[in-house]
């Protein structure tokens, strides 16, 4: 890894419907918040990495600079599916580690409130029927109708494949995972949804792609998150308080799918996550047993189950037993998604990777409020984007 890299400041906006703010406003809110949290300014930054998916072509990084300070530094506009935010952070980390600068800013932002699942068609207001149109209309995916080309169907298949292979997972168990995350969200004031849902409510809601009902799916919303990264040498020149609150980046890993015959048909979210986790543990010099909390990419309830296994929080094939043991609950031995996860916290795609890290950082700092995991010293943040990309970061509490 070379010289240690630290997160000096970090900030996350309230997730949800933010009609009063455009994408630059949200990014600026997060960026200025992270700078203030670290006790530094834009003039101290040597690089800016801006992650955004939907408006990527517009150059969000340069637009953000115009609002918070144009200092002539290099700007990287990053796009990497749902791993966009984590990739932006890794870009800033690599620039600092390479010695190009001693501080960098990473921002992830998205406006997705009201975004739907289908493309290439529309539903008339007076008709329940979806009608294809346009250049791609005839071949557009009809997820939930006749195909599983987009995310709900893909992750439904992934969950059912795990259930078929190892047994023990059924509709109710997947719903109980979602019930856990909605319960956790009641303690997170920045989550898009802050309400508990009963098992009956979750199982009885609209079925999106079996076995995931609507509450078991990640919530499209608006939001942003940002982080300031700093070299170890530069951190040593700052105040005692700044050093105390800094969080060490013990591992920053990004992987993609290795070629396999099966993944040409169904994306293999398991292999690239397991590869990333293995690399991260080796780099950080820790194992899954050393983690005090995990924020993983629960884009669907089925995804959370398989990632217990992929992140090696349990033995291979043991995800059901791991959940049944109570380990991933906030008061369990390995708390998972105490933020409420993507199903409650929300999933503004470009922001999610940094938002997961924001959650872990606050526990390591002892600043997570009512949902604080007592004594947390090591945490893992995970995101996965189909296309494919997986980011895993392992973070550690400052010794000082």
DSSP class of residue 217?
B
Per-residue b or e along 77-96, where b marks 16 or more CB atoms closer than 10 Å to that residue's CB = bbbbbbbbbbbbbbbbbbbb
Catalytic residue (choose from 11, 82, 297, 362): 82
241 three-state secondary structure = helix
d(CA 271, CA 257): 7
Residue pair 61/91 in contact by the 8 Å Cβ criterion: no
Which helix (H) or strand (E) segment is 225 a member of?
strand 222-231
CA distance 364 to 372: 9
Helix count and strand count (H, E) for the chain: 13, 13
Tokens representing residue 293 in the block: 């909390």
Count the neighbouring beta carbons within 10 Å of the beta carbon of residue 380: 29
Distances in Å between the Cα of 143 and the Cα atoms of 20, 91, 118, 148 are: 32, 34, 7, 5
Q: What is the 3-state secondary structure (H, E, C) of 293-327?
A: EEECCCCEHHHHHHHHHHCCCCCCCCHHHHHHCCC
According to DSSP, the residues that pair with 247 across neighbouring strands are: 7, 397
Under DSSP, is residue 74 helix (H, G, I), strand (E, B) or coil?
coil
Q: Active site includes 221? A: no
Contact 182, 191 (CB under 8 A): no
Q: How far is CA 214 from the centre of its chain?
A: 19
Cα separation values, 80 from 47, 132, 155, Å: 19, 28, 18
> Does residue 347 have an active-site annotation?
yes
Local structure of residue 73 (DSSP, 8 states)? -
Instruction: Find the catalytic residue in 11, 182, 347, 393.
Output: 347
Q: How far is CA 323 from the centre of its chain?
A: 21
Task: Identify the burial level of 343 via C-beta atoms within 10 angstroms of its C-beta, where 0-12 means exposed, 13-18 middle and 19 or more buried.
Answer: buried
Catalytic residues: 82, 347
């Amino acid at each position: 890894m070379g010289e240690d890299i630290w997160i000096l400041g970090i900030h996350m906006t309230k997730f949800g419907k933010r009609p009063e703010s455009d994408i630059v406003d949200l990014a600026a809110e997060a960026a200025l918040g992270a700078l203030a949290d670290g006790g530094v300014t834009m003039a101290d930054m040597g690089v800016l990495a801006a992650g955004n998916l939907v408006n990527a072509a517009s150059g969000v990084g340069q637009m953000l600079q115009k609002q918070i300070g144009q200092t002539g530094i290099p700007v990287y506009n990053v796009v990497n599916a749902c791993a966009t935010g984590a990739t932006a952070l890794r870009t800033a980390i690599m620039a600092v580690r390479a010695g190009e600068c001693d501080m960098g800013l990473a921002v992830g932002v998205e406006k997705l409130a009201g975004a739907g699942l289908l493309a290439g068609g529309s539903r008339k207001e007076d008709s329940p029927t979806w009608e294809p149109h346009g250049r791609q209309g005839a071949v557009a995916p009809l997820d939930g109708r006749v195909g599983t080309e987009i995310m709900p169907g893909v992750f439904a298949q992934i969950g059912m494949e795990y259930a078929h292979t190892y047994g023990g997972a059924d509709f109710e168990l997947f719903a109980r995972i979602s019930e856990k995350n909605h319960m956790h969200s009641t303690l997170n004031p920045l989550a898009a949804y802050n309400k508990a849902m009963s098992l009956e409510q979750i199982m009885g809601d609209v079925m999106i792609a079996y076995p995931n009902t609507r509450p078991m799916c990640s919530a499209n919303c608006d939001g942003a998150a940002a982080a300031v990264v700093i070299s170890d040498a530069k951190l040593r020149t700052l105040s005692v308080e700044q050093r105390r609150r800094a969080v060490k980046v013990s591992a920053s890993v990004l992987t993609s799918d290795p070629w396999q015959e099966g993944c040409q048909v169904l994306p293999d979210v398991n292999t690239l996550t397991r590869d990333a986790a293995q690399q991260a543990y080796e780099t950080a010099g820790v194992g899954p047993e050393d983690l005090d909390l995990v924020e993983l990419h629960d884009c669907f309830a089925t995804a959370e189950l398989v990632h217990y296994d992929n992140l090696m929080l349990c033995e291979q094939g043991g995800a059901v037993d791991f959940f049944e043991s109570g380990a991933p609950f906030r008061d369990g031995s390995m708390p998972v998604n105490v933020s409420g996860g993507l199903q409650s916290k929300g999933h503004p795609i470009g922001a999610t990777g940094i938002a997961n890290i924001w959650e872990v950082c606050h526990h390591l700092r002892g600043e997570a409020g009512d949902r604080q995991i007592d004594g947390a010293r090591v945490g893992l943040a995970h995101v996965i984007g189909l296309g494919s990309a997986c980011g895993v970061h392992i973070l550690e509490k400052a010794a000082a």
